[in-house]
Chain A
Amino acid sequence: MARIEPKATSALEQREPIWEYADAPESTEIVRLQDRYGLFVGGEFVEPKSGRWFETINPATEETLAEVGEAGPEDVDLAVTAARDAYHQRWRDLPASERAKYLFRIARGLQERAREFAVLESMNGGKPIKESRDVDIPLAAAHFFYYAGWADKLEYAFPNRRPKPIGVAGQIIPWNFPLLMAAWKLAPALAAGNTTVLKPAETTPLTALLLGEVIRDAELPPGVVNIVTGAGETGSHLVKHDAVDKIAFTGSTDVGKIIRRATAGTGKRLTLELGGKAANIVFEDAPLDQAVEGVINGIFFNQGHVCCAGSRLLVQESAFEPLLDKLKARLQTLRVGNPLDKNTDIGAINSKQQLRKIEELVASGVEEGAEIYQPECALPERGFWFCPTLFTNVSQSHRIAREEIFGPVLSILTFRTPAEAVEKANNTPYGLSAGVWTEKGSRILWMAEQMRAGVVWANTFNRFDPASPFGGYKESGFGREGGRHGLEPYLELDGAMTVQ
C-alpha cells in the first residue's frame, strides 16, 4: 500500500481569483506601412495631380499612420477615363469565365493576406481585431468568391432578360466596414462586366489601397478598378462626372439625398444604401439569454457603427425587467479598449467628429428625460472612446429613438402586443433592418411580412452572407447588394425599369 502524504497545499488557493484576460495584442509587424499612398489609377499607384495629401490616423491612438493622396477633379477625370478605356478595350468583351478567373484571384489574394488586412483594418478604423479577423476580411473574400461564381452565369440569373453590363460605375463607400464595403461594391460590378472607380472614406482609406495591391498582383487588366481617395469633394467630382454611368453609394442619408439630387436627370443609374434605426423586437417567449447576446451584438458590434444596427430595442413589457437585468449584467462584462487586443469587444470610435455626434445625441437623450445606464468602464486616455450605453424610459418622440446615433448606444422601448410592436418598429423614416426574437415560428413569419425593413433577422442579428440581399426601404435607400439581386443594379436588362 502506498503511503499517502497529507494534502499538498497551493499558495494560489488562498488568493482571490486572479482572472485578468491578459493583453493579447495582435502584432502589427505584418503590416508594412508606407509613408505615402498614391491613387490607384490605370493599374498603378500614382501621385495625385492635385498635389495634395492628407493624413490618416489610428483612432485608438490618434497617431498618424500615413499620408494619402487627395484626388482633385483632374485625378477623378483620369480615373474615370482609365475605367472607360478599360471597359471598352479590355473588360466588356472579355469572356465571362475570364472575368471570373480574376475575381477568384482577388478572393484568394485577400485570403492569403487576411491577417495583414485584419490588422490594418483595426489600426485604421478602430474596430476590434476579433471582428476584422472573423467577420470583415473573411466576408470580403467570400463576396469575391460568390460573385466570381455568377460572372459566367448571368443568363441564368436573369433568364430571358439578356443581361449586359452598364459601363463605368462610381462607387463611394463608408468608413464603418472599409474593406467589406469595397468588396460589396466591386465584386458584383466586375462580375457583371463593368469597370469601376472606387472612393473609400477619407478616415479609412488604407485597406482599400491594400486591396489595390492585391488587384494589381492579380494582374487584373489596368483601369478595370481605380481607387481615388479623398473627402466629400472627391466624391462629388465622381458623382458629377459625365462619363460615369452608375453611382453606388453607401453612407449617410444626408449625403445620399445630395447625390440623388446631383444625379437626377443625368441618366446615371443610382443605388443608395443609407442610414437605419433598426428595431430589435424581443417577445416574452424569446430565448432570453440568446436574445441578450443578440441585442448586445446588434448594437455594440463595430461600436454601433453599423447602418443596420439594432439601435432600438423593443421589449414586450412582461419581459422588460428580466431582460433589462440580464442586459445590465452582460454590459459589465464587455471589454472596451485596444482594438488590436483579441479580448476586446468594443474598440475605438472611428473619428473625433463621430464621437462628438454620439456625445451630442446622448446628451439630448438625458435632457429629454430618458434614463441613462453605463457600466463602469475605464477608457484609454488617448484616442476616441465611448462607453456602452443603455437608455430606458425612451419614447418614440425622443431624438435618441428617431435619429441614427451610429454609436454604442441602445434605446429601450416597450410594447404590449405584436401589432403595437410592428407599429412602433415601422414608425421611423428608415427601414433597413429589424430583428425578431420569439420561439413562435408563425409569429416570426407574420412579423417579417409586416415590417418595412430590407432585412429581418429571426433569433439572430447582424448576420451577413454574400448570397443574401441587403438594402433598405424609405430613407434607408434603394437597390439591393448581395445575392442575385446584387447583380441587377450593374446590368442592363431587357424590360428593366431604371432608376434615374
Chain B
Amino acid sequence: MSQAAEIERSRPGLALYSPKDAARLVGRAAPVDAVGLEERATSLAKRSIKRESKLWALDLAIRCMDLTTLEGVDTTGKIVALCAKAVRPNPVDESIPSVAAVCLYPQLVPTAVGQLKNTTVKVASVAGAFPAGLAPLGARLAEIREVVELGAHEVDIVLNRSLFLGGRYAECFEELAAARDAAGGAHLKVILETGELGSYDRVRQASVLAMAAGADFIKTSTGKIGVGAELGSALCMMEAARDFFIETGHAVGVKVAGGVRQSKQAIQYLVLLYETLGPQWMTPDLFRIGASTLLNDVLMQIDKERTGRYQGSDYYTID
C-alpha cells in the first residue's frame, strides 16, 4: 500500500505459519468475483502514460526483467550470449540499465554465474522438477539445494498443483516450506501456474498458501502451457500480496511471466502494480517480469520516445 511507510522482507527460511494452518488459510482466503476482477484489470489497462513517465516505466521494465531462456536446446553458447544481453541490453546506449536477472535451467547455472561475476545481474534457476513439479520430493529438494550451491541467487519452483487441486493443502504447504528451507539464503519464487488453477478463487488461495510458506515472490506461470500471465490473475495475486502485507507486514513480490512480449503489456502490469500495491513495489526487489523477447521491444520503444521514430529490428541485437 502506498500508505505503508516501511517495507519489511520476510526472513529466508522462515515459514510464517505451520502446516496445520494451511487448510484454514486456504479456507479463509478472500473470494474473488471473476467479472468484477477482470473489469477492473481491463479498465486499468486503459490508463495512458506518456513521455517522462513512460520512459521511467520502460526503464523500470528493464530493471525488473528476468531475461529468460528455458529450452531443451539451451547451450553454453546461448547462455553466454544471453548474459551479455542481460548486462548490456543495448551495447550502443550507455543509458540503458542491466536487467534484474537471467532465468535458466539448472545445468546452465555455472555458465551464467561465471559470465555474470562482478555485475549486478542475478542468476535465477528453475528447480524442483520444473515445469510439472511432480518428481519425488527428495529429488526436488536436492535440485533446489544444488542450484543454490552452484551459485544461483534466485530459485523459481512450481506449486504442486497435484496436491493443491487435490485439496491436500497441508502437504502442499509442507513441500513449499521445505523448499523454502532448501533454498536457504536464495530468493524463492513460487510459480502458481494460474492457467491450470481454474478460477481466481484458486489463484488467491494458492497465493496465500505460498506467501504463508515463506515465498519471496509469487509468480504467475511457467510459460510452458498455453496460458501465461494474464491481467486478471496478476491483479488477483497483487491484491493477495497487498492484503498479506497489511495483515502480516511481510512484503512479497509478484512476478508475471509467460506471453509478455510487448512494452504495452509490461506497462499495463506496472499500472496494475502501481494502483494495487503502490510505488514501494515498483522495484526489482518486489516486482519482476519474466520474458525472452520483451527486451528488444522495450529498447525500441525507448528510442521511439526519445527520438519520435522507430528503428528497424536489425538495430537491436537478438541476444
> A10, B95: Cβ atoms under 8 Å?
yes
> A285, B80: Cβ atoms under 8 Å?
no
> B95, A11: Cβ atoms under 8 Å?
yes
> A289, B84: Cβ atoms under 8 Å?
no
> A329, B80: Cβ atoms under 8 Å?
no
Q: Does B300 belong to the interface (CB within 8 Å)?
A: no
Chain A residues whose CB sits within 8 angstroms of the CB of B51 once the complex forms: 22
Chain A residues whose CB sits within 8 angstroms of the CB of B103 once the complex forms: none
Chain B residues whose CB sits within 8 angstroms of the CB of A372 once the complex forms: none
> B37, A290: Cβ atoms under 8 Å?
yes
Q: Does B104 belong to the interface (CB within 8 Å)?
A: no
Chain B residues whose CB sits within 8 angstroms of the CB of A467 once the complex forms: none
CA distance A21 to B47 in the complex (A): 7
> A287, B30: Cβ atoms under 8 Å?
yes
> B30, A288: Cβ atoms under 8 Å?
yes
CA distance A36 to B55 in the complex (A): 45
Known A7-B121, A289-B32; judge A18-B50 contact (CB<8 A): no
Chain B residues whose CB sits within 8 angstroms of the CB of A130 once the complex forms: 43, 46
CA distance A290 to B39 in the complex (A): 9
| A1-32 near B? 1/0 per residue, CB < 8 Å | 11011111111110111111111100000000
> B31, A287: Cβ atoms under 8 Å?
yes
- Expressed in whole angstroms, the minimum distance between the Cβ of A184 and any Cβ of chain B is 23
Residue among A2, A12, A325 making CB contact with B56, cutoff 8 Å: A12
- Expressed in whole angstroms, the minimum distance between the Cβ of B316 and any Cβ of chain A is 15
Chain B residues whose CB sits within 8 angstroms of the CB of A289 once the complex forms: 30, 32, 36-37, 40, 239
- Expressed in whole angstroms, the minimum distance between the Cβ of B165 and any Cβ of chain A is 20
Q: Does B131 belong to the interface (CB within 8 Å)?
A: no
Q: Which of B252-273 contact A (CB under 8 A)?
A: none
Q: Which of A321-375 contact B (CB under 8 A)?
A: 325, 329, 332-333, 342-343
Residue among B33, B59, B60 making CB contact with A459, cutoff 8 Å: B33
Chain B residues whose CB sits within 8 angstroms of the CB of A439 once the complex forms: 31
Residue among B36, B54, B274 making CB contact with A293, cutoff 8 Å: B36
CA distance A443 to B167 in the complex (A): 27
**A10, A289, A290 pick with most chain B CB within 10 angstroms:** A289
Q: Does A78 belong to the interface (CB within 8 Å)?
A: no
Residue among A19, A285, A290, A459 making CB contact with B279, cutoff 8 Å: A19
> B97, A290: Cβ atoms under 8 Å?
no
Q: Which of A216-268 contact B (CB under 8 A)?
A: none
| B1-26 near A? 1/0 per residue, CB < 8 Å | 11100000000000000000000000
Q: How large is the interface on B (under 10, 10 to 19, 20 to 34, 35 or more residues)?
A: 35 or more
> B84, A7: Cβ atoms under 8 Å?
no
CA distance A294 to B37 in the complex (A): 10
Known A5-B88, A6-B118, A8-B96; judge A290-B33 contact (CB<8 A): yes
> A13, B53: Cβ atoms under 8 Å?
no
Across the interface, name the chain B residue whose C-beta is closest to A10: B97
CA distance A342 to B49 in the complex (A): 10
Q: Does B191 belong to the interface (CB within 8 Å)?
A: no
CA distance A290 to B43 in the complex (A): 13
Chain B residues whose CB sits within 8 angstroms of the CB of A325 once the complex forms: 246
Q: Does B144 belong to the interface (CB within 8 Å)?
A: no
- Expressed in whole angstroms, the minimum distance between the Cβ of B169 and any Cβ of chain A is 19
CA distance A13 to B283 in the complex (A): 9
Chain B residues whose CB sits within 8 angstroms of the CB of A21 once the complex forms: 47-49, 53
- Expressed in whole angstroms, the minimum distance between the Cβ of B119 and any Cβ of chain A is 5
**B48, B50, B246 pick with most chain A CB within 10 angstroms:** B48
Tally of chain A residues near chain B (CB < 8 A): 41
> B275, A333: Cβ atoms under 8 Å?
yes
Across the interface, name the chain A residue whose C-beta is closest to B270: A19
> B88, A15: Cβ atoms under 8 Å?
no
| A274-306 near B? 1/0 per residue, CB < 8 Å | 000000000001111111011000000000000
Q: Does B288 belong to the interface (CB within 8 Å)?
A: no
Residue among A2, A18, A293 making CB contact with B53, cutoff 8 Å: A18
Residue among B36, B56, B120 making CB contact with A7, cutoff 8 Å: B120
- Expressed in whole angstroms, the minimum distance between the Cβ of A281 and any Cβ of chain B is 15
CA distance A333 to B98 in the complex (A): 31
Across the interface, name the chain B residue whose C-beta is closest to A296: B40
CA distance A8 to B85 in the complex (A): 11
Q: Does B282 belong to the interface (CB within 8 Å)?
A: yes
> B46, A342: Cβ atoms under 8 Å?
yes
- Expressed in whole angstroms, the minimum distance between the Cβ of A115 and any Cβ of chain B is 15
Chain A residues whose CB sits within 8 angstroms of the CB of B40 once the complex forms: 289-290, 293
Residue among A2, A10, A333 making CB contact with B59, cutoff 8 Å: A10
CA distance A7 to B89 in the complex (A): 10
> A290, B32: Cβ atoms under 8 Å?
yes
Chain A residues whose CB sits within 8 angstroms of the CB of B54 once the complex forms: 22
Q: Does A460 belong to the interface (CB within 8 Å)?
A: yes
> A22, B84: Cβ atoms under 8 Å?
no
**A10, A285, A294 pick with most chain B CB within 10 angstroms:** A10
Known: A17-B282, A325-B246. 10 other contacts (CB 8 A): A10-B63, A22-B52, A22-B53, A24-B48, A130-B46, A287-B32, A287-B33, A287-B37, A289-B40, A293-B36
5 contacts between A and B (CB under 8 A): A4-B87, A10-B62, A12-B60, A20-B53, A332-B2
- List the 4 shortest-distance A-B pairs measured between CB atoms, nearest first: A290-B36, A22-B50, A10-B97, A24-B48
Interface residues of A (CB under 8 A from B): 1-2, 4-13, 15-24, 130, 285-291, 293-294, 325, 329, 332-333, 342-343, 439, 459-460
